C-alpha cells in the first residue's frame, strides 16, 4: 500500500516520498510534471554535469550519470528512493543502472515501486495482426533484442527484492514540441506510403497517466501503453496539415524514399498493439485515445510548439 515501507511498516509523508528518475528524456519529463505534486523530493539523472546542476532551478536534484561507472551521488539517492522510474535506454552491455547500482536498489529499505519504460518494438513484426502482452517477442533489431533482455532483468530484480516492477511498452511517442505540426512547420514532414503499414502512437501525457496509475496500484508486470487506433503514418501528416491550413507534402512510395537505416527499420514491423490490459488492470482512461484527439488537443491549446518547462 502507498504510505508503507517495503516491510509493511507505516511511513509518514507524501504519497511519493522520494521519486528518482533515471534518464530525464521527453517521456520522463512528462512523468515528473505529473508526479511531482505528490512527491516529497524529485531527483533525476542526466548525462551532462552542467545540465544536472541546472536542474536545481526546477526544484529537481540533478545527478550526472553517463552509465560508464557507478556514481556515489546516485548510490546515495537510490538508497532512500521510494519510487523509481527508469527511462534510460540500454547499451550493448545491458542496463547501465542495473550494471552499476543493482545492489544499491536491493538495499533500498523504502523502495515501493519501479517503472521501466520500454517499447512495443520488442514485438517485432506480426503481419498487421492485433497483439497483446502475451504475444511472442520477435525483435529483429539489436536495440530491441537488448530491450527484451533488460525487461527480463528488471522483472527478475523485482522478484528478488519483493518490489513490483511495471514494464511499460510504449508506442510511438508524440506531444508538445514533438509532433506532426512541428515537422510541417520546419519543413521536415514526409508522407511515406507503404501499403498495409500502420503504427500505434501514444501522447506523452498518457504515458505519464499510465505511469501514475501503475504507481498508485503498485502494479507489476508488462503493460502496452498504446493508443486505440493504429493508423498509416501519412494519415497523421494529412490531418495535421488540414488543421494548420497548409498543403500536405506529396506522398512518397516507401520503396524509393530516402530513409536512414534506423528509420527504414521501423517500417519493417507491422502490428496492431492492444491496450486492453492497461485499461482493464490500471483503470486508465486515455486523454488522447487516437491521434485525432491528440492532434486536436495540441492544436487547440497551442501546446504543439514546445514542451512545457520543468518549473519548480
**pLDDT (tens digit per residue) in 186-205:** 999 999 999 999 999 999 99
The cell for 154 is 528488471
**Among candidates 195, 192, 167, 179, which has minimal Cα distance to 85?**
167
Task: Write out the H or E segment, with its range, that includes residue 44.
Answer: strand 39-46
**Is there a contact between 272 and 130 (Cβ–Cβ < 8 Å)?**
yes
Measure the CA–CA gap between 227 and 171, rounded to whole angstroms.
8
pLDDT digits (tens, 9 = 90+) for 234-280: 999 999 999 999 999 999 999 999 999 989 999 999 999 999 999 99
Domain boundaries, the chain: 16-175+200-228+273-287
pLDDT digits (tens, 9 = 90+) for 289-301: 999 999 999 999 9
- Residue 41's DSSP bridge partners are 18
Task: Write out the H or E segment, with its range, that includes residue 32.
Answer: helix 26-35
Q: Where are the beta strands (DSSP E) in 149-239?
A: 165-170, 172-174, 191-193, 201-203, 221-225
Q: What is the pLDDT of residue 311?
A: 78
Average pLDDT over all residues of the chain: 94
- Residue 234's DSSP bridge partners are none
Backbone angles phi, psi at 43, to 5 degrees: -125, 150
For the domain made up of 16-175+200-228+273-287, give the CATH fold: Rossmann fold (3.40.50)
Instruction: Say if residue 171's pLDDT is above 60.
Output: yes
Task: Write out the H or E segment, with its range, that includes residue 83.
Answer: strand 83-86
Amino acid at each position: 500500500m502507498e504510505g508503507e515501507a517495503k516491510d509493511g511498516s507505516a511511513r509518514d509523508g507524501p504519497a511519493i516520498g522520494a521519486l528518482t528518475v533515471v534518464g530525464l528524456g521527453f517521456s520522463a519529463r512528462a512523468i515528473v510534471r505529473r508526479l511531482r505534486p505528490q512527491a516529497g523530493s524529485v531527483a533525476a539523472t542526466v548525462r551532462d554535469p552542467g545540465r544536472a546542476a541546472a536542474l536545481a532551478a526546477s526544484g529537481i536534484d540533478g545527478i550526472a550519470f553517463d552509465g560508464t561507472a557507478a556514481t556515489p551521488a546516485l548510490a546515495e539517492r537510490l538508497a532512500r528512493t521510494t519510487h523509481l522510474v527508469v527511462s534510460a535506454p540500454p547499451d550493448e552491455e545491458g542496463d547501465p543502472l542495473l550494471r552499476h547500482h543493482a545492489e544499491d536498489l536491493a538495499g533500498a529499505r523504502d523502495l515501493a515501486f519501479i517503472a521501466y519504460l520500454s517499447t512495443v518494438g520488442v514485438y517485432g513484426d506480426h503481419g498487421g495482426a492485433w497483439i497483446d502482452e502475451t504475444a511472442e517477442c520477435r525483435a529483429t533489431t539489436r536495440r530491441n533484442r537488448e530491450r527484451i533482455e533488460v525487461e527480463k532483468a528488471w522483472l527478475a530484480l523485482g522478484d528478488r527484492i519483493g518490489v513490483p516492477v511495471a514494464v511499460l511498452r510504449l508506442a510511438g511517442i508524440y506531444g508538445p514540441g514533438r509532433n506532426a505540426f512541428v515537422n510541417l512547420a520546419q519543413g521536415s514532414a514526409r508522407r511515406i506510403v507503404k501499403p498495409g503499414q500502420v503504427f500505434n502512437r501514444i501522447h506523452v501525457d498518457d504515458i505519464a497517466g499510465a505511469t501514475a496509475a501503475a504507481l498508485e496500484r503498485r502494479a507489476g508486470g508488462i503493460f502496452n501503453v498504446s493508443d486505440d487506433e493504429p493508423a498509416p503514418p501519412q494519415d497523421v501528416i494529412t490531418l495535421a496539415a488540414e488543421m494548420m491550413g497548409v498543403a500536405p507534402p506529396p506522398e512518397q512510395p516507401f520503396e524509393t524514399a530516402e530513409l536512414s537505416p534506423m528509420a527504414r527499420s521501423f517500417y519493417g514491423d507491422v502490428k496492431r498493439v492492444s491496450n486492453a490490459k492497461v485499461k482493464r488492470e490500471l483503470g486508465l482512461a486515455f486523454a488522447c485515445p487516437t491521434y485525432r484527439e491528440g492532434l486536436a488537443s495540441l492544436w487547440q491549446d497551442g501546446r504543439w510548439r514546445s514542451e512545457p518547462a520543468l518549473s519548480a
